[in-house]
């Protein structure tokens, strides 16, 4: 169990399919592993909105009080009201969900793992028992989000991606629509590949250090499987670091992508901002590329992160050349008017 204190939050009591929105007051609540929250202190709270839902997430007529607009609904997911009206479509990150029919609007990328269930079915048609929080992708801690948005803006001319509350990157549709028509070939290919990463279930956890002092710690066995009382195999997480595991005190290069263990649920991407901002790489005729911090970021999430998304490993594709292994770095460098790197200095 974890105890939080927030000024504003949408919580779902474990025993009710109900969402409340509290405003202009501090309060405490207790969260369980499903992110369902039970308030523990209502002192000074002003209740602005309340919603009752059907099991599949439809807001029930006559049982909704809405004092001001709140963009999140069932399960804390963001409402997409542009096409079907208020509360009739939800953005879970990996896919869009229609609560009226209780179906996803696109197929499950992992449907081969569940051959007896349609790829469009929501929580195996059992929303009381099962929870589908979202499809996890690129995760960025709040402290590093402004830096990542700077990388995106540097490459695309605008912040065409933004962040969800949990740190996941998502498309900023309004900004994207303003800039996409002017994308060059490099920008289009980078955008397509970032979108592929975002839509995947696997996680790229991005961390940015200001200098060489990374101070990263991770227990290789961060999750373990267990069988619950109903015979269902589930996962639970143990402390990310409990005195044993991987420690990386220093990062003395521009960027690094690592996979701690196959048991982990993510790969980690580290950017040393100081070195990435000034780093240059080998080019033809003994020349060097121009420094570009945003290009290092693109290199790590696509030249390395995309390998993890495609294969669950960080191994370079079989038979690939050194230059092919820095393909996206060169696209990003070209986008910044730099000469390309040869890849000969790529480890």
Report residue 344 as tokens. Answer: 């000969």
Position 147 pLDDT exceeds 70:
yes
Residue 324: CA atoms inside 13 Å, Cβ hemisphere, count?
7
Give dist(CA 152, CA 93) in Å, integer. Answer: 19
pLDDT of residue 131: 57
Residue 22's pLDDT band, with cuts at 50, 70 and 90, is very low
Give dist(CA 251, CA 160) in Å, integer. Answer: 29
Position 125 pLDDT exceeds 90:
no
Q: Are the CB atoms for 254 and 214 separated by under 8 Å?
A: no
Q: Are the CB atoms for 222 and 237 separated by under 8 Å?
A: yes
| CA proximity to 222, closest of 267, 255, 256, 257 | 267
pLDDT, tens digit, for every residue of 31-61? 333 333 344 444 445 555 677 778 888 877 7
Kindly list the domain boundaries of the chain, sorted by start residue: 2-125, 138-335
Query: Mean pLDDT over residues 278-285, rounded?
Result: 96
pLDDT of residue 313: 86
Give dist(CA 304, CA 296) in Å, integer. Answer: 11
Q: Which residues contact 259 (CB under 8 A, 6 or more apart)?
A: 267, 268, 308, 313, 314
Give dist(CA 302, CA 152) in Å, integer. Answer: 13
The DSSP string of 108-134 is: -TTGGG-TTS-TTBSGGG-TTT-----
Q: Report percent pLDDT > 90 for the chain.
A: 36
Position 163 pLDDT exceeds 80:
yes
- If you average pLDDT over each of 102-106, 124-128, 198-202, 272-276, which comes out highest? 272-276
């Amino acid at each position: 169990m974890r105890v939080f204190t927030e000024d504003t939050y949408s919580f779902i009591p474990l025993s009710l399919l109900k969402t409340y929105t509290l405003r202009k007051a501090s309060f405490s609540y207790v969260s369980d592993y499903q992110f369902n929250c039970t308030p523990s202190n209502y002192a000074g709270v002003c209740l602005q909105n309340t919603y009752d839902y059907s099991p599949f997430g439809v807001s029930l007529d006559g049982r909704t009080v809405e004092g001001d607009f709140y963009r999140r609904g069932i399960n804390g997911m963001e409402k997409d009201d542009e096409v079907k009206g208020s509360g009739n479509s939800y953005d879970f990150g990996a896919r869009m969900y229609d609560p009226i029919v209780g179906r996803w609007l696109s197929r499950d990328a992992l449907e081969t793992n569940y051959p007896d269930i349609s790829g469009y079915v929501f929580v195996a048609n059992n929303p009381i028992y099962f929870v589908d929080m979202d499809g996890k992708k690129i995760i960025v801690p709040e402290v590093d989000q402004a830096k990542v948005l700077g990388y995106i803006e540097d490459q695309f001319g605008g912040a065409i991606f933004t962040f969800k509350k949990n740190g996941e990157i998502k498309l900023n549709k309004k900004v994207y629509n303003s800039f996409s028509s002017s994308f060059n070939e490099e920008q289009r290919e980078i955008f397509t590949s970032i979108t592929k990463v975002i839509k995947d279930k696997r996680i790229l956890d991005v961390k940015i250090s200001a200098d060489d002092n990374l101070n990263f710690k991770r227990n290789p066995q961060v999750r373990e499987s267990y069988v619950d009382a109903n015979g269902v195999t589930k996962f639970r997480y143990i402390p990310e670091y409990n005195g044993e595991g991987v420690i990386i005190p220093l990062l003395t290069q521009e960027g690094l992508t690592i996979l701690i263990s196959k048991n982990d649920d993510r790969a980690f991407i580290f950017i040393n901002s100081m070195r990435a901002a000034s780093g240059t790489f080998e080019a033809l005729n003994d020349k060097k590329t121009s420094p570009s911090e945003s290009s290092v970021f693109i290199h790590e999430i696509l030249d390395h992160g995309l390998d993890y998304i495609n294969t669950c490993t960080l191994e370079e594709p079989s038979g690939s050349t050194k230059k092919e292994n820095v393909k996206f770095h060169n696209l990003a460098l070209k986008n910044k008017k730099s000469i390309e790197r040869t890849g000969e200095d790529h480890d």
